[in-house]
Structure formats: structure tokens, C-alpha cells
């Protein structure tokens, strides 16, 4: 698969090409950026280029040799890929060091230390690095501090702040920028299996630079709920009436499995974080250009009218407090707190924050 399969990130491609050309490839990289912008695909293309048996150029893959085909199928013996299971809150430590009966005899730490079977190096990709707990990070410490010869470890996360200090301090950081609405629209147009009633222009505008978010919003139920959530947040009192019941009903509609419900509640909190982040940028005059998403732009304008009597620094503080409360909800969700026990309190407290009353509770 050629690098042209990526819709962006040319600077990062050139950065790695330069590193390979001058034999300066690091042993551990931390990829950070929004979900759904190509970090995982970039890691796979990098692994394919490094393991290709007939490379046509520097950091290039032929895409046809047996090694390239195995990387594409994730069956190459020198490629290790692990990710958080859908039913787990964290990546199990067993994936790194094996189960209790096979400690250090199985798992990523063991496998990456082995001599390459057929390639010139071993490549390991850890998806969902945001879901590394302290135990999992500690199991990687020796590998990070004393990387095996000819090994490359790639950790994929959403932000540097989400990672444990032990990981950040031992990794070379690679940032991935959001995609433009035009790039997302082009990608959606090439999704043959995508069926949606919502115009691609609206999805691309609301995607916040992420194809994953655009695909989520392609579900008309999710798109409509997001718009209703924005209106409730902009009103300054999302805890009023029966909106909590609407939120819980939307969460339950995700399916019977607890993991699906947790993912949906995390998504709802993400929508709220995006709203308050846009409000913060507006009041801080950091927006630069108008928000391409008309729904969130209208909600931000309504919120600004409600805050018109407040000082700018107070509005900025309100936005920061609201974002922190949304992150708290996500932490609770990952700790398996019941949605019913968290949603109502979250909405009530957001209302208090939006009306400036939370300052009286500190």
C-alpha cells in the first residue's frame, strides 16, 4: 500500500524518510492526534515500508512481496499489533508480559525481544495507548529503557496529556494534525458501504477533522441527538426537564452490551467537550476563521448571548470547568460507574457551571 493512501501527514512521512535515510530511526515513537485521522494507517504503512523485501526506494514498500502482503493482513511474524479489547477499560497487562503461568514468556515484551524471523527488524504497534494503566506502562519500562536491537515500538494515542509520564519521557513524540473538511468529504465519497441521509458537506463540517467522528455522525440518530445536546448546553441549564432521561435513552439504544453503552456515553461527553472548547476559543478570540459546522456555531452564539453580562475571564473559566467536568464523566465511565448514576449529576453540575454558580461551591 503506497503512502498516497494517506489523505494528509506528508510532513510526517518526510520526517521518517529522512530518519531512515540517515539511519536515525528512534526505537520508540508516540503518535498523538484526534481519533480517525490516519495514525493507525500511518503506523501500518511505516511497518510495511520497513519490512518490505523489495523496497523501490527509501521508506517505500512494493506492496506486492510476501512481506508486504503479510503486513497488510497483520500476519507478518515480525509485526506485533495489540489493542484494547472492546470489553475492557484498559489494555490487559497479559498482552505485554503473558498470563500468570507464562510471565515474560509471551506477550509484546517477549516477542519484540526475539531476533527477527524474516525481516531486518521487529515492529510493534500499540493501539489505544490512552488505555495503558500503570501496570501496563510499568511492564514496558525495560523495553523502553533498553530497546532490543533492530526493534521499533509505536504507541498510538490521542494526546500527550493522556499518556503516563513514564511513556512520554521515553518516546519520541509525533503529532498528527486534523484533516480538513474537504479531505474528509473526499474520504466519505470513497466509502462505498456508507449509507446516510446526511449530506457529506454537513458530516465533514461537523467531524472536527476526524473521519471516525464523521462516520459516527453519519447515523442520523446520533447526528440529531448531538444537535439537541448542543441546544441544551447552550441554554445554560441542560439538567432541567427530562433531558437526563433522553440522554439515558440514547445510551441504552446503543445495545445491550455494557461496552457499547460506555462508548456512547464517552461520545456524548466528547460532543460536550467540543462545544465548550469552541466557546472558549470564541471568547478568547482564538477561532481564526468561522466554525464550518453551522449547528455548533449557532449553539456557541446562543451561549455567548447568555454570558453577555459576564466578564471574559469568567466565561473562559466556565468553559474550562465544564470541560474538566466532562472529562470527569469519561473517567467515571471507564471505571464502570453506572450511566444512570452519573448522567443526571453531570447535567445538573454542567448547568451550575454554565450559570456561574459552581464558583460558589468551590
Burial 213-242 (b: 16+ CB within 10 A, else e): bbbbbbeeebbebbbebbebbbbbbbbeee
Residue carrying the nine cell digits 500500500: 1
User: Cα–Cα distance between 281 and 316 in angstroms, integer?
Assistant: 9
Question: Strand order in 122-126's β-sheet?
Answer: 79-82, 122-126, 151-157, 28-32, 172-175
pLDDT by residue for the chain (362 residues), tens only, comes to: 789 888 789 999 999 999 999 999 999 999 999 999 999 999 999 999 999 999 999 999 999 999 999 999 999 999 999 999 987 878 999 999 999 888 989 999 999 999 999 878 999 999 999 989 999 999 999 999 999 999 999 999 998 988 989 899 999 999 999 999 999 999 999 887 889 999 999 999 999 999 999 999 999 999 999 999 999 999 999 988 789 999 999 999 999 888 889 889 999 999 999 999 999 988 887 655 456 789 999 999 999 999 999 999 999 999 999 999 999 999 888 787 888 878 999 999 999 999 887 654 43
Q: Which three cell numbers stand for residue 148?
A: 532490543
- Contact call for residues 30 and 163 (beta carbons, < 8 A): yes
Residue reference for cell 444512570: 340
Strands 151-157 and 28-32: parallel
Query: Quick check: helix, strand or coil at residue 186?
Result: helix
pLDDT score recorded for residue 362:
39
Quick one: cell of 76? 507478518
Sign of CA pseudo-dihedral 209, 211, 216, 220: positive
82 vs 316: CA distance, rounded Å: 39
Q: Where are the beta strands (DSSP E) in the chain?
A: 28-32, 79-82, 122-126, 151-157, 172-175
Does pTM surpass 0.75?
yes
pLDDT of residue 287: 52
Q: What is the pLDDT of residue 361?
A: 41
User: What is the predicted pLDDT for the residue at 357?
Assistant: 74
pLDDT score for 338: 80
**pLDDT score at 258:** 85
Amino acid at each position: 500500500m503506497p503512502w498516497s493512501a494517506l489523505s494528509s501527514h506528508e510532513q510526517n512521512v518526510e520526517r521518517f524518510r529522512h530518519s531512515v535515510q540517515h539511519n536515525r530511526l528512534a526505537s520508540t515513537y508516540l503518535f498523538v492526534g484526534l481519533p480517525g485521522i490516519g495514525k493507525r494507517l500511518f503506523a501500518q504503512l511505516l511497518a510495511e515500508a520497513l519490512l518490505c523485501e523489495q523496497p523501490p526506494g527509501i521508506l517505500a514498500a512494493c506492496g506486492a512481496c510476501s512481506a508486504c502482503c503479510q503486513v497488510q493482513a497483520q500476519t507478518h511474524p515480525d509485526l506485533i499489533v495489540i489493542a484494547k479489547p472492546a470489553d475492557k477499560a484498559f489494555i490487559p497487562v497479559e498482552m505485554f508480559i503473558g498470563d500468570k503461568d507464562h510471565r515474560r514468556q509471551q506477550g509484546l515484551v517477549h516477542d519484540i525481544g526475539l531476533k527477527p524471523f524474516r525481516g531486518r527488524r521487529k515492529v510493534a504497534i500499540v493501539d489505544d495507548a490512552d488505555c495503558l494503566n500503570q501496570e501496563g506502562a510499568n511492564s514496558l519500562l525495560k523495553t523502553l529503557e533498553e530497546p532490543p536491537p533492530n526493534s521499533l515500538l509505536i504507541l498510538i494515542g490521542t494526546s500527550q496529556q493522556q499518556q503516563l509520564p513514564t511513556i512520554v519521557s521515553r518516546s519520541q513524540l509525533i503529532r498528527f494534525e486534523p484533516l480538513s473538511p474537504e479531505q474528509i468529504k473526499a474520504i466519505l465519497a470513497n466509502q462505498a458501504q456508507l449509507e446516510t441521509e446526511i449530506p457529506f458537506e454537513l458530516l465533514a463540517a461537523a467531524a472536527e477533522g476526524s473521519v471516525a467522528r464523521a462516520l459516527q455522525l453519519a447515523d442520523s440518530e446520533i447526528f440529531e441527538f448531538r444537535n439537541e445536546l448542543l441546544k441544551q448546553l447552550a441554554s445554560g441549564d441542560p439538567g432541567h426537564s427530562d433531558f437526563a432521561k433522553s440522554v439515558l435513552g440514547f445510551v441504552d439504544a446503543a445495545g445491550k452490551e455494557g461496552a457499547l453503552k460506555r462508548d456512547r456515553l464517552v461520545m456524548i461527553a466528547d460532543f460536550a467537550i467540543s462545544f465548550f472548547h469552541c466557546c472558549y476559543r470564541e471568547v478568547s478570540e482564538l477561532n481564526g476563521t468561522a466554525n464550518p459546522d453551522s449547528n455548533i456555531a449557532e449553539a456557541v452564539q446562543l451561549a455567548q448571548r447568555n454570558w453577555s453580562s459576564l466578564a471574559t475571564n469568567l466565561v473562559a473559566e466556565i468553559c474550562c470547568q465544564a470541560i474538566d467536568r466532562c472529562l470527569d464523566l469519561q473517567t467515571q465511565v471507564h471505571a464502570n460507574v453506572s450511566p444512570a448514576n452519573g448522567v443526571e449529576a453531570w447535567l445538573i453540575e454542567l448547568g451550575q457551571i454554565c450559570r456561574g454558580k459552581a464558583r460558589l461551591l468551590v
